[in-house]
Chain A
Amino acid sequence: MSSYLEATARERVDRLFDPGSFQEFLPPSARVVSPHLGQLNAPVAFDDGVAVGRAQLNGRAVFVAAQEGGFMGGAVGEVHGAKLAGMLRRALLDAPEAVLLLLETGGVRLHEANAGLIAVSEVMRAVLDVRAAGIPVIALVGGANGCFGGMGIVARCTNAVIMSEEGRLAMSGPEVIETASGVEEFDARDRALVWRTTGGKHRYLLGDCQALVADSVDAFRAAALAQMDALAAGPVALTLDALEQEQALLTQRLEQFGHVREPMELWRALGVDEPEALPLLEAADFVERVGAQRLGAC
């Protein structure tokens, strides 16, 4: 079993997709690096921390992006964001069966924040354009850096989010919340609390992710194929109806759980027996146990 968490972005691409099928756009040898980091006397990466291209998943044509969490926390700079947006726009022309985003990112790269913010907004628009063209977009979140900031929003703009228990998904990261609101609000050093609040199991229970899998490349591949099959059956474009349903779900969530201080209380309120047992369950056992209680996904 090959860990998804431990793998680099390029190892994930090599192991997830059919061997030798990945064709990269702007590979490292093209040396399209950040124009900003050098000016700040900071190290650059030849791929600016993301690999994009086309590949085959069990013989099915897909487009893919894989963010490298090891380079500046997977943060989105100008080139990095342009590669994401460019890959999505190319998908509009080539019409693959799906686009898979292997996200591992702290959000916008603060060294080039304006360019990064614009890039993230372009990525959001491009994701919705790809969906509007009838091509499903699926986000995979299982890296050590989680998926935060603007890219957390991008993940939730997709048709489906697949997470491992180790994966994390949120807007502001733990340190940001603690810095902004104080340690009484959120203790970023309490790792169990961090995972209870942002980790895959909590996201699954809240309906923010559609599949929870074990930390293995094989499990992520199987879940991605299952999502592709499920999405092939229905419309993948974002509709006003779906947005209103999502808004209703979020409103209900806030009313029902807005006063809750601790995720475990929320799980209990959802009707889960012995919520303290959840963190220790394997992914499959967890899904079997709580699948009926999770909030409806959009």
Chain B
Amino acid sequence: MEHLHYQFKGGTRTLQRAADVVGVVGSGNLEVLIESAAMDGGCSIDITTAAVGFGAIWEAVMIDFQARWQLADTRIAINDMGATPAVVSLRLDQAVETMLERRP
């Protein structure tokens, strides 16, 4: 297992809800736990992945993700079981979109 951590500053978008989880920790898949958290406007992403040695790709995917959403005061935690970069991006977008939905 490998642990990775990314921290972004200067985001502008805060989320509507407290927390949600999307995805499943299955082969080629991952779960994304996304939470609103007071972080001085920052966004932190913690990743635990079964695929060791892909830090550079994770970093590129996370920079793209934050460029798309500009998240502020958001904490993200990922348990990954070898998802491809495209699947990671889709799950992250799904997580944000879920948090932006207004639910009854």
A residues lining the B interface (CB < 8 Å):
8, 10, 19-20, 27-29, 31, 38, 41-47, 68, 70-71
Q: Which residues of A contact B31 (CB under 8 A)?
A: 28, 45-46
Contact of A44 among B18, B24, B25, B104 (CB under 8 A): B25
The answer to whether B1 touches A41 (Cβ under 8 A) is yes
Q: Which residues of B contact A70 (CB under 8 A)?
A: 24-26, 29
Does B66 interact with chain A (Cβ within 8 Å)? no
In chain B, positions 1-41 with a C-beta closer than 8 Å to chain A are 1, 18-19, 21, 24-26, 29, 31, 33, 35
Cα A29 to Cα B77 with chains together (Å) = 9
- Could you give 18 example pairs across A and B, Cβ below 8 Å? A8-B24, A20-B103, A20-B104, A27-B21, A28-B19, A28-B21, A28-B31, A28-B33, A29-B18, A43-B25, A43-B81, A44-B25, A45-B31, A46-B31, A46-B33, A68-B24, A70-B25, A71-B26
Q: Which residues of B contact A31 (CB under 8 A)?
A: 33, 77
The answer to whether A71 touches B104 (Cβ under 8 A) is no
Contacts A29-B35, A43-B81 aside, 20 further interface pairs with beta carbons under 8 A come to: A19-B103, A27-B19, A27-B21, A28-B21, A28-B33, A29-B18, A29-B33, A31-B33, A31-B77, A42-B50, A43-B50, A44-B79, A45-B24, A45-B31, A46-B31, A46-B79, A68-B24, A70-B29, A71-B25, A71-B26
Main secondary structure on chain A at its contact with chain B?
loop
Min CB–CB distance B24 → chain A (angstroms): 4
- Give the residue name and chain of the A residue nearest to B49 (CB): A43
Cα A68 to Cα B26 with chains together (Å) = 10
Does B48 interact with chain A (Cβ within 8 Å)? yes
The answer to whether A46 touches B21 (Cβ under 8 A) is yes
Cα A41 to Cα B51 with chains together (Å) = 11
9 nearest CB pairs, A to B = A70-B24, A70-B26, A28-B21, A29-B19, A20-B104, A45-B25, A71-B25, A43-B81, A28-B33
The answer to whether B80 touches A43 (Cβ under 8 A) is yes
Cα A71 to Cα B103 with chains together (Å) = 27
Min CB–CB distance A64 → chain B (angstroms): 17
Cα A45 to Cα B103 with chains together (Å) = 25
The answer to whether B24 touches A71 (Cβ under 8 A) is yes
Cα A68 to Cα B25 with chains together (Å) = 9
Min CB–CB distance A48 → chain B (angstroms): 10
Residue of B25, B50, B79, B103 with most chain A CB atoms under a 10 A cut-off: B25
Min CB–CB distance A23 → chain B (angstroms): 13
Q: Which residues of B contact A46 (CB under 8 A)?
A: 21, 31, 33, 77, 79
Q: Which residues of B contact A68 (CB under 8 A)?
A: 24
In chain B, positions 79-104 with a C-beta closer than 8 Å to chain A are 79-81, 103-104
Cα A286 to Cα B81 with chains together (Å) = 40
- Give the residue name and chain of the B residue nearest to A8 (CB): B24
Min CB–CB distance B88 → chain A (angstroms): 14
Residue of A41, A46, A47 with most chain B CB atoms under a 10 A cut-off: A46
Q: Which residues of A contact B48 (CB under 8 A)?
A: 43-44
- Give the residue name and chain of the A residue nearest to B18 (CB): A29
Residue of B19, B31, B50, B77 with most chain A CB atoms under a 10 A cut-off: B31
Min CB–CB distance B26 → chain A (angstroms): 4
